[in-house]
Amino acid sequence: MKNTERDAIIALDFPNREQTLEFLDIFSEEKKPFVKIGMELFYASGPDMVREIKARGHRIFLDLKLHDIPNTVKRTMAVLSGLDIDMVNLHASGGSEMMKAALEGLTRPDGTRPLLIAVTQLTSTDERMLHDELLIEASMNRAVMRYAQNAASCGLDGVVCSPLEAASIKEECGNDFITVTPGIRFADSDAGDQKRIMTPADAGKAGCDYIVMGRPITKASDPVGAYRRAMHDFLG
């Protein structure tokens, strides 16, 4: 199932189809970048948006972070698998039964399936929020490691995590366990609402498999140049 050639993923955080395709059109002379479709775009434009972007030759990470009872997640994953996406995710906090059900639903009759990864803790979560709001007494690192271990034991391909945690997760779950890392910013970029962040170059050194970048590329004056910079810095 795993196709883990390291790559930078562009988060298509746009509100509609028109802005999304206008952005993708500027990459006409580039290799088709790996892209992430999140909740905003998916809820605005639906499955047809996924099909249209896929038809253009892009690999797609469908970032919907499913979190529901096991049977609902299983049936939903079966629907999403039919969109020919390359990667999809859920929340590890949904538990082992939900993750196993998701894997079952995602697997097509011929045995193929997209990569399935689990969200550990959002990169907008810090230690204070973890303890004071979520009432999780464990440290951030311990909580993330436990979620990653649970995902690995359920047969998932990897996790979404902070780049600060990628190396430790590899040590705990094995080098083949995929780490997909948002919270990536250029050194001269605004951190925005991300709290556990790293530069593309440092993420490459940390052993991240995929980095996810949105605003530093989509809001750049030269998005193609920013994408090339991210790829160069990340891959070395």
Q: What is the pLDDT of residues 30-71, one digit of tens each?
A: 789 999 999 999 999 999 999 999 999 999 999 999 999 999
Tell the CATH superfamily of the 7-235 domain.
Aldolase class I (3.20.20.70)
Residue 195: its pLDDT value, please? 54
Mean pLDDT of 22-28: 94
The Cα 117–Cα 177 span in angstroms is 10
The Cα 211–Cα 125 span in angstroms is 18
Residue of 54, 65, 100, 195 marked catalytic? 65
pLDDT digits (tens, 9 = 90+) for 143-172: 899 999 999 999 999 999 888 889 999 999
Write the CB contacts of 234 (distance below 8 Å, at least 6 apart in sequence).
6, 8, 200, 201, 203, 204, 208, 211
Active site includes 31?
Answer: no
- Rg (C-alpha) for the chain, rounded Å, is 17
Structure confidence at residue 183 as a pLDDT band (50, 70, 90) = confident
Q: How does strand 87-91 pair with strand 115-119?
A: parallel
The Cα 61–Cα 116 span in angstroms is 10
Which residue bears the tokens 């007494």? 137
Least confident of 125-129, 169-173, 229-233: 125-129
Ramachandran angles phi, psi of 128, nearest 5°: -60, -45
Mean pLDDT of 12-30: 93
Residue 192: its pLDDT value, please? 58
The Cα 140–Cα 143 span in angstroms is 5
8 Å CB contact between 211 and 9: yes
Q: pTM score, two decimals?
A: 0.92
